[in-house]
Structure 1
Amino acid sequence: MLIGGIEAGGTKFVCAVGDESGEIFDKVIFPNKDPDDTLSEAKQFFDKYSIEALGVGSFGPVDLDKQSGTYGQVLHTPKVKWRNFPLLSRLQNEYSIPVYLDTDVNAACLGEYKYGAGRNVNSCLYITVGTGIGAGLVQNGKLFQGKNHSEMGHIFVQKHVDDSFAGSCPSHGACIEGLVSGPAIEQRYGKKGIELIDNKAVWELAAYYLAQAIVNYYVILSPEKIILGGGVMKQEKLYPMIREEFTKQMNGYLKIDNVDDLIVAPELDDEQGVKGAILLAVND
Structure 2
Amino acid sequence: MGKLFGSIEAGGTKFVCAVGNADLMILESTTFPTEKPAETLQKAVDFFKPFYDEGSLAAISVGSFGPIDVAIGSKTYGFVTTTPKPHWANADVIGFLKAQLDLPMYFTTDVNSSAYGEKILDSSLNSLVYYTIGTGIGAGAIQGEDFIGGVSHTEMGHTFVKRHADDLDFAGVCPFHNDCLEGVAAGPSLEARTGVRGENIALESPVWDIQAYYIAQAAVQATLILRPERIIFGGGVMAQEHMMNRVRKQFAAQLNGYVTVPDLVDYLKTPAIADNASATVGNFALAKREYERMVCKK
TM-score (norm 1): 0.96
Distance 2:233 2:19 in 1: 25
Q: Is the 8 A contact 2:135 2:187 kept in 1?
A: yes
Give structure 1 regions of 4+ aligned residues with deviation exceeding 2 angstroms: 197-200
Q: What do the CA deviations read for 1:190-220 (whole angstroms, capped 9, x no partner)? A: 1110111424312111111110111011100
1:103 lines up with 2:109 in the alignment: yes
Is the 1:91–1:99 contact (alpha carbons within 8 Å) kept by the matching residues of 2?
A: no
SS class of match (2:50): coil
Superposed, 1:26-37 pairs within 5 Å as: 26-37=28-39
1:45-96 CA distance string (max 9 Å, x none): 1123231111100111111112322111111111221111111111111101
Distance in 2 (CA, whole Å) between partners of 1:137 and 1:40 is: 30
The question of 1:240 aligning with 2:245 is answered yes
1:198-237 equivalences in 2 (<5 Å) = 198-237=203-242
The 3-state SS of whatever aligns with 2:211 is helix
How many residue pairs match? The answer is: 282
Q: Distance in 2 between matches of 1:140 and 1:213?
A: 22
One-letter identity of the residue aligned with 2:182: E
Q: 2:15 aligns with which of 13, 16, 33?
A: 13
Partners of 2:59 and 2:150 in 1: CA distance: 25
Q: Which residue of 2 is the match for residue 80 of structure 1? A: 86
SS at match of 1:217: helix
Please tell me whether the aligned partners of residues 56 and 280 of structure 1 are also in contact (alpha carbons under 8 angstroms): no
Percent identical residues: 44
Whole-Å separation in 1 of the counterparts to 2:223 and 2:235: 19
Q: Which of 86, 96, 99 is the matching residue for 1:93?
A: 99
Give the gaps of 5 or more residues in structure 1.
none
> Is contact 1:101-1:280 (8 Å) kept?
no
Partner residue of 2:294?
Answer: none
Spell out the pairing of 1:1-284 with structure 2 (5 A cutoff). 1-49=3-51, 50-115=56-121, 118-163=122-167, 164-270=169-275, 271-284=277-290
Distance (whole Å) between structure 2 residues aligned to residue 133 and residue 255 of structure 1:
26
CA distance in 1, matches of 2:180, 2:163: 9
**Could you tell me how far apart the structure 2 residues matched to 1:186 and 1:68 are?**
38
Return the alpha-carbon distance in structure 2 between the equivalents of residues 119 and 248 of structure 1: 30
Q: What's the secondary structure of 2:157's corresponding residue?
A: helix
What is the one-letter code of the residue matched to 2:17? Answer: C
Any stretches of 5+ residues in structure 2 without a counterpart?
A: 291-298
TM-score (norm 2): 0.92
Deviations 1:22-41 (A, max 9, x none): 21111111111111111121
Q: Distance in 2 between matches of 1:68 and 1:47?
A: 27
